[in-house]
Structure 1
Amino acid sequence: MVEGFERVSAENVTIEGRTLTVGRLIHAPAEDIFALLADPNQQVEADGMDMVRGPVAGTEPVTKVGDVFTMNMYAEKMGGEYQMDNHVTRFEADRAIGWMPARPGSEPHGVQWTWVLEPESDDSTYVSLVYDWDAVTSEKMLAGKFPPFPVDAYLESLHVLADAVEDADDWDGEDDAFDAFDD
Protein backbone atom coordinates (compact mmCIF):
# COMPACT_ATOMS: atom_id res chain seq x y z
CA MET A 1 0.00 0.00 0.00
CA VAL A 2 1.23 3.52 -0.77
CA GLU A 3 0.61 4.62 2.82
CA GLY A 4 3.74 2.81 4.13
CA PHE A 5 5.91 4.45 1.49
CA GLU A 6 4.41 7.84 2.25
CA ARG A 7 5.12 7.43 5.97
CA VAL A 8 8.79 6.80 5.28
CA SER A 9 9.26 9.44 2.61
CA ALA A 10 7.32 12.39 3.97
CA GLU A 11 6.62 14.22 7.19
CA ASN A 12 3.25 13.45 8.71
CA VAL A 13 1.06 15.77 10.73
CA THR A 14 -2.22 14.65 12.27
CA ILE A 15 -4.58 16.21 14.78
CA GLU A 16 -7.17 13.90 16.27
CA GLY A 17 -9.28 15.23 19.11
CA ARG A 18 -6.85 16.83 21.54
CA THR A 19 -3.73 15.16 20.17
CA LEU A 20 -1.22 16.52 17.67
CA THR A 21 1.24 14.03 16.19
CA VAL A 22 4.13 14.93 13.91
CA GLY A 23 6.50 12.32 12.56
CA ARG A 24 9.40 11.70 10.22
CA LEU A 25 12.10 9.20 9.41
CA ILE A 26 15.42 9.87 11.13
CA HIS A 27 18.52 8.08 9.90
CA ALA A 28 19.85 6.90 13.25
CA PRO A 29 19.33 3.86 15.46
CA ALA A 30 16.44 4.04 17.94
CA GLU A 31 18.83 3.54 20.87
CA ASP A 32 20.86 6.65 19.91
CA ILE A 33 17.72 8.76 19.62
CA PHE A 34 16.31 7.42 22.88
CA ALA A 35 19.59 8.08 24.71
CA LEU A 36 19.42 11.76 23.72
CA LEU A 37 15.74 12.12 24.68
CA ALA A 38 16.19 10.34 28.03
CA ASP A 39 19.07 12.63 29.00
CA PRO A 40 17.81 16.08 30.06
CA ASN A 41 21.37 17.36 29.57
CA GLN A 42 20.95 16.76 25.82
CA GLN A 43 17.28 17.69 25.36
CA VAL A 44 18.10 21.19 24.14
CA GLU A 45 19.17 19.37 20.94
CA ALA A 46 15.54 18.33 20.35
CA ASP A 47 13.96 21.72 21.03
CA GLY A 48 12.59 23.26 17.86
CA MET A 49 10.83 25.99 19.84
CA ASP A 50 14.02 27.47 21.29
CA MET A 51 12.63 27.45 24.82
CA VAL A 52 14.72 24.76 26.57
CA ARG A 53 17.89 26.15 28.13
CA GLY A 54 18.99 22.99 29.94
CA PRO A 55 18.40 21.08 33.16
CA VAL A 56 19.19 22.22 36.66
CA ALA A 57 22.68 21.23 37.79
CA GLY A 58 23.20 17.59 38.68
CA THR A 59 20.34 16.21 36.58
CA GLU A 60 20.78 12.55 35.62
CA PRO A 61 19.24 10.70 32.66
CA VAL A 62 15.69 9.44 33.06
CA THR A 63 15.47 5.74 33.94
CA LYS A 64 11.80 5.02 34.71
CA VAL A 65 8.21 6.21 34.95
CA GLY A 66 7.90 8.42 38.01
CA ASP A 67 11.21 10.23 37.54
CA VAL A 68 11.00 14.02 37.61
CA PHE A 69 13.55 16.30 35.96
CA THR A 70 13.60 20.09 36.13
CA MET A 71 14.43 22.16 33.06
CA ASN A 72 15.43 25.79 32.81
CA MET A 73 13.26 27.43 30.18
CA TYR A 74 12.81 30.79 28.46
CA ALA A 75 9.76 32.32 26.79
CA GLU A 76 8.71 35.94 26.53
CA LYS A 77 5.04 34.99 27.04
CA MET A 78 6.04 33.29 30.31
CA GLY A 79 7.83 36.40 31.57
CA GLY A 80 11.32 35.34 30.45
CA GLU A 81 13.24 32.71 32.44
CA TYR A 82 11.31 30.04 34.32
CA GLN A 83 11.54 26.35 35.27
CA MET A 84 9.38 23.31 34.58
CA ASP A 85 9.30 19.97 36.39
CA ASN A 86 8.75 17.16 33.92
CA HIS A 87 7.00 14.13 35.40
CA VAL A 88 7.91 11.02 33.41
CA THR A 89 4.73 9.15 32.46
CA ARG A 90 6.08 6.75 29.85
CA PHE A 91 9.41 4.96 29.62
CA GLU A 92 9.98 2.09 27.22
CA ALA A 93 13.71 1.84 26.51
CA ASP A 94 14.49 2.61 22.86
CA ARG A 95 10.73 2.79 22.05
CA ALA A 96 8.96 5.65 23.85
CA ILE A 97 9.46 8.34 26.46
CA GLY A 98 6.94 10.88 27.68
CA TRP A 99 6.39 13.44 30.40
CA MET A 100 3.87 15.90 31.77
CA PRO A 101 5.25 19.36 32.60
CA ALA A 102 4.31 21.37 35.68
CA ARG A 103 5.58 24.40 37.51
CA PRO A 104 7.98 23.35 40.29
CA GLY A 105 6.01 22.13 43.29
CA SER A 106 2.76 21.87 41.31
CA GLU A 107 0.91 18.94 39.82
CA PRO A 108 0.93 18.54 36.01
CA HIS A 109 -1.90 20.38 34.29
CA GLY A 110 -2.76 17.64 31.79
CA VAL A 111 -0.45 18.30 28.84
CA GLN A 112 1.78 15.40 27.81
CA TRP A 113 4.79 15.28 25.46
CA THR A 114 5.67 11.82 24.13
CA TRP A 115 8.35 10.67 21.70
CA VAL A 116 7.58 7.34 20.00
CA LEU A 117 10.39 5.50 18.18
CA GLU A 118 9.69 2.82 15.57
CA PRO A 119 12.84 1.23 14.13
CA GLU A 120 12.64 0.91 10.34
CA SER A 121 16.08 -0.72 10.06
CA ASP A 122 19.28 -0.94 12.11
CA ASP A 123 20.10 2.68 11.28
CA SER A 124 16.73 4.34 10.59
CA THR A 125 13.89 5.11 12.97
CA TYR A 126 10.48 6.64 12.38
CA VAL A 127 10.05 9.20 15.19
CA SER A 128 6.71 10.64 16.26
CA LEU A 129 6.38 13.61 18.59
CA VAL A 130 2.97 13.54 20.25
CA TYR A 131 1.55 16.61 22.01
CA ASP A 132 -1.56 15.56 23.91
CA TRP A 133 -3.80 17.88 25.91
CA ASP A 134 -6.65 15.40 26.42
CA ALA A 135 -6.18 15.35 30.21
CA VAL A 136 -6.41 19.15 30.57
CA THR A 137 -9.43 19.97 32.74
CA SER A 138 -8.81 23.64 33.52
CA GLU A 139 -11.47 25.72 31.76
CA LYS A 140 -9.02 28.64 31.72
CA MET A 141 -6.40 26.55 29.93
CA LEU A 142 -8.94 25.04 27.54
CA ALA A 143 -10.09 28.54 26.61
CA GLY A 144 -6.54 29.19 25.36
CA LYS A 145 -4.95 28.12 22.11
CA PHE A 146 -4.16 24.43 21.59
CA PRO A 147 -1.77 23.35 20.39
CA PRO A 148 0.08 26.39 21.75
CA PHE A 149 2.77 26.49 19.04
CA PRO A 150 2.53 26.48 15.25
CA VAL A 151 2.75 22.99 13.74
CA ASP A 152 6.05 24.03 12.13
CA ALA A 153 7.59 24.35 15.62
CA TYR A 154 6.79 20.71 16.41
CA LEU A 155 8.22 19.66 13.04
CA GLU A 156 11.33 21.73 13.78
CA SER A 157 11.83 19.67 16.94
CA LEU A 158 12.06 16.59 14.72
CA HIS A 159 14.49 18.36 12.38
CA VAL A 160 16.84 19.48 15.16
CA LEU A 161 16.68 16.02 16.72
CA ALA A 162 17.64 14.52 13.34
CA ASP A 163 20.52 16.99 13.02
CA ALA A 164 21.74 15.95 16.47
CA VAL A 165 21.71 12.18 15.88
CA GLU A 166 22.21 11.58 12.18
CA ASP A 167 25.75 10.78 11.13
CA ALA A 168 26.49 12.95 8.10
CA ASP A 169 29.16 10.45 6.98
CA ASP A 170 26.59 7.63 6.86
CA TRP A 171 23.63 9.52 5.40
CA ASP A 172 23.90 11.75 2.36
CA GLY A 173 20.20 12.32 1.80
CA GLU A 174 20.10 9.66 -0.90
CA ASP A 175 18.39 6.32 -0.52
CA ASP A 176 20.79 3.43 -1.17
CA ALA A 177 17.86 1.46 -2.61
CA PHE A 178 17.97 3.71 -5.65
CA ASP A 179 21.70 3.18 -6.36
CA ALA A 180 20.85 0.48 -8.91
CA PHE A 181 19.12 3.12 -11.04
CA ASP A 182 22.29 5.21 -11.23
CA ASP A 183 24.11 2.64 -13.43
Structure 2
Amino acid sequence: MSDTTSITVERTIPASSKELFDILTNPHRHEDLDTSGFVRGIEHGDRLNEVGQVFTMNMNGDHMGGDYQTDNVVSALDDNRMVGWKTAPAGTKPPGWEWLWMLDSQGSDSTDVRLTYDWGDVDDQDLLEKVGFPLVTEDQLEESLGKLASVASGE
Protein backbone atom coordinates (compact mmCIF):
# COMPACT_ATOMS: atom_id res chain seq x y z
CA MET A 1 0.00 0.00 0.00
CA SER A 2 1.31 3.48 -0.77
CA ASP A 3 0.26 7.09 -0.44
CA THR A 4 2.09 10.15 -1.71
CA THR A 5 4.84 10.12 0.94
CA SER A 6 5.24 6.51 2.02
CA ILE A 7 5.09 2.92 0.87
CA THR A 8 4.21 0.00 3.13
CA VAL A 9 4.46 -3.68 2.24
CA GLU A 10 3.53 -6.72 4.35
CA ARG A 11 4.28 -10.43 4.37
CA THR A 12 4.05 -13.35 6.76
CA ILE A 13 7.48 -14.93 7.16
CA PRO A 14 7.93 -18.44 8.61
CA ALA A 15 10.37 -17.42 11.35
CA SER A 16 10.17 -16.15 14.90
CA SER A 17 10.08 -12.42 15.52
CA LYS A 18 13.25 -12.83 17.60
CA GLU A 19 15.10 -14.40 14.68
CA LEU A 20 13.94 -11.67 12.30
CA PHE A 21 14.78 -8.93 14.80
CA ASP A 22 18.29 -10.39 15.15
CA ILE A 23 18.77 -10.13 11.37
CA LEU A 24 17.33 -6.61 11.08
CA THR A 25 19.36 -5.20 13.97
CA ASN A 26 22.63 -6.44 12.47
CA PRO A 27 23.84 -3.74 10.03
CA HIS A 28 26.21 -6.29 8.47
CA ARG A 29 23.10 -8.09 7.10
CA HIS A 30 21.54 -5.04 5.43
CA GLU A 31 23.30 -5.63 2.13
CA ASP A 32 21.68 -9.09 2.09
CA LEU A 33 18.23 -7.46 2.27
CA ASP A 34 18.81 -4.68 -0.25
CA THR A 35 16.99 -4.89 -3.58
CA SER A 36 17.64 -1.32 -4.71
CA GLY A 37 21.23 -2.01 -5.69
CA PHE A 38 22.42 1.01 -3.67
CA VAL A 39 23.87 -0.75 -0.60
CA ARG A 40 27.51 -1.77 -1.08
CA GLY A 41 28.34 -2.79 2.49
CA ILE A 42 28.84 -1.48 5.95
CA GLU A 43 31.48 1.12 6.80
CA HIS A 44 30.95 0.81 10.55
CA GLY A 45 28.22 -0.17 12.95
CA ASP A 46 27.43 -2.50 15.80
CA ARG A 47 24.25 -4.43 16.47
CA LEU A 48 21.44 -1.94 16.87
CA ASN A 49 20.49 -1.71 20.53
CA GLU A 50 19.32 1.83 21.25
CA VAL A 51 17.52 4.77 19.71
CA GLY A 52 20.05 7.37 18.58
CA GLN A 53 22.72 4.83 17.65
CA VAL A 54 24.39 5.47 14.27
CA PHE A 55 25.66 3.03 11.65
CA THR A 56 27.29 4.04 8.37
CA MET A 57 26.74 2.27 5.06
CA ASN A 58 28.72 2.42 1.81
CA MET A 59 26.36 3.15 -1.06
CA ASN A 60 26.33 3.79 -4.81
CA GLY A 61 23.67 5.50 -6.89
CA ASP A 62 23.33 7.86 -9.82
CA HIS A 63 21.09 10.10 -7.71
CA MET A 64 24.16 10.90 -5.58
CA GLY A 65 26.73 10.94 -8.38
CA GLY A 66 28.13 7.45 -7.70
CA ASP A 67 29.76 6.26 -4.48
CA TYR A 68 28.63 7.85 -1.22
CA GLN A 69 28.00 6.97 2.43
CA THR A 70 24.95 7.27 4.62
CA ASP A 71 24.67 7.71 8.34
CA ASN A 72 21.64 5.88 9.65
CA VAL A 73 20.26 6.99 13.00
CA VAL A 74 18.16 4.43 14.89
CA SER A 75 14.74 6.05 15.34
CA ALA A 76 12.72 3.13 16.71
CA LEU A 77 13.67 0.04 18.65
CA ASP A 78 11.44 -2.38 20.54
CA ASP A 79 12.88 -5.88 21.13
CA ASN A 80 11.48 -8.41 18.67
CA ARG A 81 8.76 -5.97 17.55
CA MET A 82 10.17 -2.93 15.77
CA VAL A 83 13.33 -1.37 14.37
CA GLY A 84 13.68 1.78 12.31
CA TRP A 85 16.28 4.26 11.18
CA LYS A 86 16.46 7.64 9.50
CA THR A 87 18.98 7.94 6.69
CA ALA A 88 21.19 10.91 5.83
CA PRO A 89 24.22 11.60 3.68
CA ALA A 90 27.21 10.89 5.97
CA GLY A 91 28.04 13.76 8.28
CA THR A 92 24.60 15.40 8.03
CA LYS A 93 21.40 15.27 10.05
CA PRO A 94 18.62 13.06 8.68
CA PRO A 95 16.55 15.18 6.26
CA GLY A 96 13.29 13.33 6.78
CA TRP A 97 13.08 9.81 5.41
CA GLU A 98 12.79 6.66 7.49
CA TRP A 99 12.77 2.89 7.16
CA LEU A 100 10.55 1.12 9.71
CA TRP A 101 10.22 -2.63 10.20
CA MET A 102 7.31 -3.84 12.36
CA LEU A 103 7.21 -7.46 13.56
CA ASP A 104 3.99 -9.04 14.81
CA SER A 105 4.65 -12.52 16.19
CA GLN A 106 2.11 -15.14 15.13
CA GLY A 107 3.67 -17.83 17.29
CA SER A 108 7.09 -19.38 17.66
CA ASP A 109 7.64 -19.88 13.93
CA SER A 110 5.65 -17.20 12.10
CA THR A 111 5.76 -13.41 12.02
CA ASP A 112 3.77 -10.79 10.15
CA VAL A 113 6.32 -8.27 8.88
CA ARG A 114 5.47 -4.76 7.75
CA LEU A 115 8.10 -2.58 6.08
CA THR A 116 7.44 1.14 5.64
CA TYR A 117 9.56 3.55 3.63
CA ASP A 118 8.41 7.05 4.57
CA TRP A 119 9.73 10.32 3.16
CA GLY A 120 6.88 12.49 4.47
CA ASP A 121 9.11 14.62 6.67
CA VAL A 122 11.43 15.72 3.84
CA ASP A 123 10.78 19.43 3.46
CA ASP A 124 13.85 20.42 1.41
CA GLN A 125 12.44 20.95 -2.09
CA ASP A 126 15.89 20.75 -3.72
CA LEU A 127 16.47 17.37 -2.07
CA LEU A 128 13.02 16.12 -3.09
CA GLU A 129 13.82 16.99 -6.71
CA LYS A 130 17.39 15.61 -6.59
CA VAL A 131 16.48 12.28 -5.05
CA GLY A 132 13.16 11.84 -6.83
CA PHE A 133 11.19 10.10 -4.08
CA PRO A 134 10.31 7.33 -3.94
CA LEU A 135 13.82 6.20 -4.69
CA VAL A 136 12.87 2.60 -3.86
CA THR A 137 9.75 1.07 -5.41
CA GLU A 138 6.98 -0.94 -3.81
CA ASP A 139 8.14 -4.00 -5.78
CA GLN A 140 11.68 -3.59 -4.42
CA LEU A 141 10.34 -3.34 -0.87
CA GLU A 142 8.34 -6.53 -1.39
CA GLU A 143 11.52 -8.18 -2.71
CA SER A 144 13.28 -7.08 0.50
CA LEU A 145 10.67 -8.99 2.49
CA GLY A 146 11.42 -12.01 0.31
CA LYS A 147 15.14 -11.62 0.97
CA LEU A 148 14.48 -11.39 4.72
CA ALA A 149 12.52 -14.65 4.48
CA SER A 150 15.41 -16.28 2.57
CA VAL A 151 18.01 -15.09 5.07
CA ALA A 152 15.87 -16.34 7.96
CA SER A 153 15.51 -19.77 6.34
CA GLY A 154 19.26 -20.03 5.80
CA GLU A 155 19.14 -19.84 2.01
- TM-score over 0.5 for the pair: yes
Q: 2:8 touches 2:138 (CA, 8 Å); kept in 1?
A: no
1:17 Cα deviation (Å)? Answer: 4.6
1:142 Cα deviation (Å)? Answer: 3.5
SS in 2 for 1:56: strand
> Which residue in the other structure is 2:146 paired with?
159
> Which residue in the other structure is 1:70 paired with?
56
Question: Residue 100 of structure 2 is aligned with which of 111, 114, 119?
Answer: 114
Pairwise CA RMSD: 1.6
1:167 Cα deviation (Å)? Answer: 5.2
Counterpart of 2:117 in structure 1: which amino acid?
Y
Question: Residue 69 of structure 2 is aligned with which of 68, 74, 83?
Answer: 83
Where in structure 2 are the equivalents of 1:161-176 lying within 5 Å?
Answer: 161-166=148-153
> Which residue in the other structure is 1:61 paired with?
47
Aligned residue pair count: 154
TM-score (norm 1): 0.78
Q: Separation in 2 of the partners of 1:145 and 1:79?
A: 14
Q: 1:118 touches 1:126 (CA, 8 Å); kept in 2?
A: yes
Relative contact order: is structure 1 or structure 2 higher (C-alpha 8 Å, sep ≥ 6)?
A: 2
Q: 1:48 touches 1:155 (CA, 8 Å); kept in 2?
A: no
Displaced runs of 4 or more, over 4 A = none
TM-score (norm 2): 0.91
Question: Residue 103 of structure 1 is aligned with which of 59, 66, 89?
Answer: 89
Question: Residue 33 of structure 1 is aligned with which of 17, 20, 24?
Answer: 20
Q: 2:76 touches 2:83 (CA, 8 Å); kept in 1?
A: yes
SS in 1 for 2:28: coil
Distance change in 2, residues 1:19/1:77 (3 Å): closer
1:156 Cα deviation (Å)? Answer: 1.0
Q: 1:49 touches 1:156 (CA, 8 Å); kept in 2?
A: no
Q: Separation in 2 of the partners of 1:64 and 1:165?
A: 23
SS in 1 for 2:2: strand
Higher CA-based Rg:
1
1:141 Cα deviation (Å)? Answer: 3.0
Deviations 1:63-110 (A, max 9, x none): 100100001112233222211000110011110100111111111010
1:60 Cα deviation (Å)? Answer: 1.2
Distance change in 2, residues 1:34/1:101 (3 Å): same
Q: 1:48 touches 1:159 (CA, 8 Å); kept in 2?
A: no
Identity over the aligned pairs, expressed in percent?
36
Q: 1:48 touches 1:158 (CA, 8 Å); kept in 2?
A: no
